[in-house]
Amino acid sequence: MASVLTVILNWRTPDMTLRSAEAAILAMEGIEGGIVIVDNDSGDGSEERLRAAVADRGWARVRVIQSGHNGGFGAGNNVGIRAGLQDGARPDHVYLLNSDAFPAKDAIRVLLDHMQSHPETGMAGSYIHGTDDAPHVTCFRFPSVASEFEGGAQTGPISRILRHAIIPQPIPDGTTRMDWVAGASLMMRQDMLDRVGAFDEEYFLYFEETDLCLRAARAGWHTDYVPASRVAHIGSVSTGMKEWGRTPGYWFDSRWRYFRKNHGLGTAIAATLAQTAGLMINRLRVALGSSRRTGGQRFMRDLLAHDIRALTTGIRPAVHHPDEASVTERTT
C-alpha cells in the first residue's frame, strides 16, 4: 500500500493549524503514513501549544517539528519533506496542506488514487473553495513575456489576442493536465522529488510551486488538477495578501528569480519591459475612465526599481525580515 506524508506548515496560527490537522487526520483514515506539523520559527509559543495539543488529543500519527528559521513557504515545507515518516521510512507521496485549509474526508484518498493510476503524474492538486463555497482559481499556465504584457494591460482586445498566454485558467469540470496548480492542497510523488529536488529555498514566497512544476515538466512529469478532491480554504491568513496596499519586496524578488533562473537574463528583462508596457496601457485607460487599475500602490514604479536593482546588484537571500509577512502558505 502506498504511503503518504502530510506536511502542514505553521506560522503563528496554532489554533487554525490544529483544525487543519484534525481534518487531515480524518482524511488520512485507511491511508498508510503520517502527518508532520512544521512550526516555521513562529517565536510566539506556537510550537509549545501545538506539541501540548497533539499530546493531549492523543494524535499518534501526528508529530510537531521546528524548522529552526523562517525561510518562507518552500524552505519550511522542505523541512517536513526531509523529515520523512515518523519511523524514518521514505513515503511514496508527500501531501502539502495549508494551515488554513481543510480537506474533505475523501480529499487525500482521491489524490492518492489518481497518483496510483497515473504513474506519469508527478503532482496533483485539489479543487479549492472558500468557506462560502466559492471556487478559488488554482489552475495556471506558466508565466511568459506575453503573459506579463497581458497581465499588465488587462485590456479586452489584448487579452483576446493573447488568450493563449493568460496565466489564470478557467476551473475545469473534470481532471485536467495543467502547467501548475496552487499548493494549498498538493500531492507530490516522492520519486519525482528525488529526481528534480524539492522547493527552491531561494524563493521566500510566491513562484515556488511554479518553479517546481516547471522543473518537473522539463523532467517529463505531469501536473494534474483533480476536482473530485475538495478542500475548503480560508486563504491569506498568514500572508495578509488580501489587505496588501503595496506589493511587498519578496514578491518582486520571486518573480525576477523565476524568469532569470528558468529563462535567462534576456527573458527576465523582456518580461519586465513587457509588463511595464502593459501597465502603461492600463494607466492610460484608467485616466480615460475605461479600465480598473492593475496592481497595488506604486506597483509599476516598484517593479522597475526592484528589477533594476536585481539586474545590477542581485536579489537578497530568501530570509525573513521582521517588517514583512512571514508565511506558511501560497495563495492566489
CB 31 within 8 A of CB 106: no
Residue 237 has pLDDT above 50, yes or no: no
Residue 292 has pLDDT above 50, yes or no: yes
Look at residue 196 and tell me if it is in a domain: yes
| Whether this model's pTM surpasses 0.85 | yes
In the chain, the percentage of residues whose pLDDT exceeds 70 is 92
- The residues near 274 (Cβ < 8 Å, ≥ 6 apart) are 145, 146, 148, 149, 152
Phi–psi pair at 238, nearest 5 degrees: -85, -30
Q: In CATH, what number is assigned to the domain containing residue 99?
A: 3.90.550.60
**What whole-number distance in Å separates Cα of residue 127 and Cα of residue 137?**
9
The predicted pLDDT at position 245 comes to 83
Instruction: Give the residue-averaged pLDDT of 2-6.
Output: 98
Render pLDDT for 87-100 as a digit per residue (tens, 0 to 9).
999 999 999 999 99
Look at residue 29 and tell me if it is in a domain: yes
Per-residue pLDDT band at 323 (split at 50, 70, 90): very low
3-state secondary structure of 56: helix
Residue closest to 305 by CA, chosen among 249, 245, 246:
249
Look at residue 33 and tell me if it is in a domain: yes
The predicted pLDDT at position 238 comes to 44
Residue 205 exposure: Cα atoms within 13 Å on the Cβ side: 24
CB 282 within 8 A of CB 155: yes
**What whole-number distance in Å separates Cα of residue 257 and Cα of residue 109?**
35
**What whole-number distance in Å separates Cα of residue 260 and Cα of residue 98?**
28
Helices (H), the chain: 14-27, 46-56, 73-83, 107-117, 145-153, 156-161, 190-196, 208-218, 249-263, 265-287, 299-313
Render pLDDT for 116-143 as a digit per residue (tens, 0 to 9).
999 999 999 999 999 899 999 999 999 9
Look at residue 290 and tell me if it is in a domain: no
Look at residue 279 and tell me if it is in a domain: no
CB 41 within 8 A of CB 66: yes
Look at residue 297 and tell me if it is in a domain: no
Look at residue 315 and tell me if it is in a domain: no
CB 167 within 8 A of CB 213: no
CB 250 within 8 A of CB 324: yes
332 vs 115, residue with greater confidence = 115
Render pLDDT for 299-320 as a digit per residue (tens, 0 to 9).
999 999 999 999 999 887 655 4
Q: What range defines the domain where residue 121 resides?
A: 3-242
Residue 298 has pLDDT above 70, yes or no: yes
Instruction: Give the residue-averaged pLDDT of 232-256.
Output: 78
Partnered with residue 189 across adjacent β-strands are: 93
Total count of domains within the chain: 1
The predicted pLDDT at position 331 comes to 45
322 vs 294, residue with greater confidence = 294
**What whole-number distance in Å separates Cα of residue 186 and Cα of residue 166?**
22
